[in-house]
């Protein structure tokens, strides 16, 4: 397999995974998911995010030039060695010194034209072209300790790339990495990650390898990079700093032993350089190149030349082998975690579908409760209607008896001669004000209406409270989000007041007015009118018989209206019930709509997860079989 066939597979999978994670971010942030309290496992999601990052790193590795990483303990002289090799001096030199200077991954790359410059890559993925000196300062611990205001900026840096024209860089990049035991643990983690991405590694040793260096070796032995150990003889002759030969030999013996254990039993000798002396000599106007052999520069350049030749290998077999091996592992883990995520999504969808089915049952239950309450309210309405009719009938009979007296005859005749309407109005006012006593407030009728409203309330509230109590905690939580602060008590308090208003309005306007006031359809007005006709007709008849017939007719008229009064009372009670039932139904329907939207959103996203799962299996099969 070539890079040209490997890259499309990795890029396709990365694009799909990026799209998947973007969709997941959108799903987690929409209000709908928060309302439904959908909880997806953090582990598979976090794993997929890490895998996407690692996969992107492999793509970057496949695309970028051959990279030679320089690793080692702090104070081993990595930056000094790179400065010496590249001839960097003064402000162009990589930062060195104590405390540890290399805080971030530094990539040194070739640029044909222009002054040396730098590119800062931030943790959020954005990049910034800047001056070499600014980038240098932001990764130099010495500078940051003296300029704490730059510390927060430095913490946002992922890595820095320096650009300059140098023949060593014409065919490869150099990567100066933080050493193990860095001040920031993330820097050490970054070093491990970048080492795995490099094509070859120079392990620079300044002292006897310790446990931290051994952990480096353990990590490197699991990959396929070529590792070249280089011992830096840290001497500075101009400043009379010399290295003890016995100490150097002890380091060499330890390196040979460790390399034979971790890499190859055939390993013989590490390279020996004096980075400080190379840097010192190259800084001179007329350097003595004959000393380069003594300081190890010549051998070091030969090693780099070997890597340069390796970088132009068209097959790049080692790089492909390494990228392919890592990618197979990444895709295998992606399949596992996307499968777990798909299963979790299915579980949430099933829960929501079960909830929606429960909501449908609740809508049906609301209808059943309404039907059951209708029968109870009808019984109450029948009782109150009978009571009201008895009161009106009793007063009506007394009114007719009192009115149909010979002592009233002349007044009736006089009034009737002025018109039937005037007589009816006079009789109505007298009956309502003197017999029914409705010109007072409160009166028996408002008391009866209030009693009926309370009776209806006593029937409705326990039923609906029982229904409300059956709502689950999740349902109540979603209702709370749509109606902050709502409880059944707050709901019933406001609705009961409205319910009583409805009952009072319907009873007083329709029920009583239908009996006592002259409006279309009113029947008591006709009854009084009949009384008036009877009175006139009785001028020629015996009054006793007329009174009996008139009283009987009033009874019949009132009784005939008892069903209308009962229906008006029933309507008032059912309208009051509808206030509560409709409000609760609307609340349940809102939850149904939210649940349905949640099912749709999760199903759509699960389809994407399943597609990624299947496509990743195909990508893995392609890599494994090639």
388-412: average pLDDT: 70
Under DSSP, is residue 65 helix (H, G, I), strand (E, B) or coil?
coil
Sequence ranges of the domains in the chain: 37-339, 377-592
Least confident of 128-132, 428-432, 457-461, 498-502: 498-502
Cα–Cα dist 106/407, whole Å: 123
Residue 27 has pLDDT above 70, yes or no: yes
Q: How many CB atoms lie within 10 A of CB 368?
A: 9
d(CA 274, CA 232): 5
Distances (CA, A) of 179 to 13, 258, 260, 333, 504: 32, 18, 22, 29, 85
Contact yes or no for 586/312 (Cβ under 8 A): no
pLDDT (mean) for 137-165: 86
Phi first, then psi, for residue 446 (nearest 5°) are: -65, -35
Write the DSSP assignment of 32-43 as a string of letters: HHHHHT----HH
Cβ–Cβ under 8 Å, residues 100 and 183: yes
Task: Indicate if the pLDDT at residue 625 is higher than 60.
Answer: yes
Would you state the structure tokens that stand for residue 466, as one six-digit string?
């029982």
**Is the per-residue pLDDT at 22 higher than 80?**
yes
Structure pTM?
Answer: 0.56
Q: Which of 97, 13, 96 is nearest to 62 (CA)?
A: 13
CATH hierarchy code of domain 37-339? 3.40.50.300
**Which pLDDT value is given to residue 497?**
63
Stretch 175-199: mean pLDDT: 72
Reading the block at residue 44, the tokens are: 């598979």
pLDDT digits over 251-267, tens only? 888 888 888 888 777 88
331 Cβ contact partners less than 8 Å away, ≥ 6 residues apart: 13, 616, 619, 620, 623
Q: Taking Cα atoms as reference points, which of 88, 97, 156, 163 lies closest to residue 126?
A: 156
Q: What is the mean pLDDT of the chain?
A: 76
Residues 6+ apart with CB under 8 A from 179: 71, 72, 73, 74, 76, 78, 100, 102, 188, 191
Angle, CA 291 vertex, CA 288 and CA 296 arms, to 5°: 135
pLDDT for 618 equals: 92
Closest CA to 546 of 555, 537, 554: 537
pLDDT value for 412: 59
Q: What is the pLDDT of residues 576-597, one digit of tens each?
A: 777 778 877 877 777 777 778 7
Question: Helices 185-197 and 42-63 sit at what angle, rounded to 10 degrees?
Answer: 50
Give the tens place of pLDDT for each residue, 474-531. Answer: 777 666 666 666 666 665 565 556 556 655 555 554 444 444 433 222 333 343 344 4
Q: Which residues contact 352 (CB under 8 A, 6 or more apart)?
A: 36, 595, 598, 599, 602
pLDDT digits (tens, 9 = 90+) for 355-382: 777 777 888 888 888 888 888 888 888 8
Indicate left, alpha or beta for 275 from its phi (over 0: left) and psi (-120 to 50: alpha).
alpha
Q: Distance between CA atoms of 562 and 390, rounded to whole angstroms?
A: 9
């Amino acid at each position: 397999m070539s890079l040209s066939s490997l890259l499309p597979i990795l890029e396709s999978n990365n694009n799909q995974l990026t799209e998947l994670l973007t969709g997941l971010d959108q799903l987690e942030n929409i209000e709908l998911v928060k309302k439904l309290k959908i909880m997806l496992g953090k582990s598979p999601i976090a794993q997929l995010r890490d895998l996407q990052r690692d996969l992107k790193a492999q793509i970057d590795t496949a695309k970028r030039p051959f990279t030679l990483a320089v690793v080692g303990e702090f104070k081993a002289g990595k930056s000094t060695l790179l400065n010496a090799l590249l001839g960097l001096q003064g402000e162009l030199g990589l930062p060195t010194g104590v405390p540890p200077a290399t805080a971030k991954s530094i990539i040194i790359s070739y640029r044909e034209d222009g002054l040396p410059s730098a590119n800062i890559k931030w943790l959020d993925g954005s990049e910034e072209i800047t001056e070499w000196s600014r980038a240098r300062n932001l990764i130099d611990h010495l500078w940051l300790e003296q300029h704490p205001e730059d510390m927060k900026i430095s913490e946002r840096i992922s890595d820095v790339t320096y650009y300059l024209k140098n023949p060593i860089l014409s065919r490869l990049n150099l990567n100066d990495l933080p050493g193990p035991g860095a001040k920031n643990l993330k820097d050490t983690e970054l070093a491990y990650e970048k080492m795995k991405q490099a094509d070859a590694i120079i392990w620079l040793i300044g002292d006897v390898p310790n446990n931290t260096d051994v952990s480096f070796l353990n990590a490197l032995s699991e990959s396929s990079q070529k590792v070249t150990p280089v011992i830096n003889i840290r001497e500075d002759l101009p400043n009379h700093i010399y290295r003890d030969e016995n100490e150097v030999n002890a380091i060499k013996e330890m390196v040979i032993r460790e390399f034979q254990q971790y890499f190859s039993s055939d390993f013989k000798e590490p390279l020996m350089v004096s980075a400080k002396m190379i840097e010192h000599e190259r800084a001179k106007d007329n350097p003595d190149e004959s000393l380069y052999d003594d300081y190890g520069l010549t051998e070091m350049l030969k090693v780099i030349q070997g890597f340069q030749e390796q970088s132009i290998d068209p097959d790049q077999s080692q790089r492909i082998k390494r990228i392919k091996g890592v990618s197979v592992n990444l895709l295998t883990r992606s399949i596992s975690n996307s499968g777990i995520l798909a299963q979790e999504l299915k579980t949430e969808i099933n829960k929501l579908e079960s909830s929606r089915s429960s909501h449908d049952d609740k809508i049906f239950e609301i209808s059943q409760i309404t039907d059951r309450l209708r029968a109870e309210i009808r019984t109450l309405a029948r009782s109150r209607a009978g009571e009201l009719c008895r009161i009106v009938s009793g007063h009506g009979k007394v009114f007719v008896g009192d009115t149909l007296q010979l002592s009233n005859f002349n007044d009736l005749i006089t009034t009737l001669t002025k018109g039937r309407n005037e007589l009816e109005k006079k009789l109505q006012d007298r009956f309502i004000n003197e017999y029914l006593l409705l010109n007072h407030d409160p009166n028996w009728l408002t008391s009866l209406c209030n009693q009926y409203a309370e009776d209806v309330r006593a029937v409705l509230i326990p039923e609906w409270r029982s229904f409300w109590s059956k709502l689950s905690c999740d349902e109540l939580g979603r209702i709370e989000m749509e109606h902050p602060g709502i409880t059944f008590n707050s709901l019933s308090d406001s609705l009961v007041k409205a319910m009583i208003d409805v009952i009072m309005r319907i009873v007083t306007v329709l029920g009583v007015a239908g009996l006592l006031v002259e409006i279309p359809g009113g029947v008591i007005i006709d009854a009084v009118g009949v009384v008036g006709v009877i009175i006139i007709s009785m001028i020629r008849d015996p009054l006793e018989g007329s009174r009996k017939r008139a009283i009987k007719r009033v009874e019949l008229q009132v009784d005939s209206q008892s069903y209308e009064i009962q229906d008006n009372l029933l309507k008032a009670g059912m309208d009051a019930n509808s206030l509560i039932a409709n409000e609760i139904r609307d609340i349940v329907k809102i939850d149904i709509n939210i649940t349905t939207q949640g099912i749709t959103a999760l199903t759509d996203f699960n389809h994407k997860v399943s597609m990624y799962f299947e496509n990743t299996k195909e990508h893995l099969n392609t890599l494994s079989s090639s």
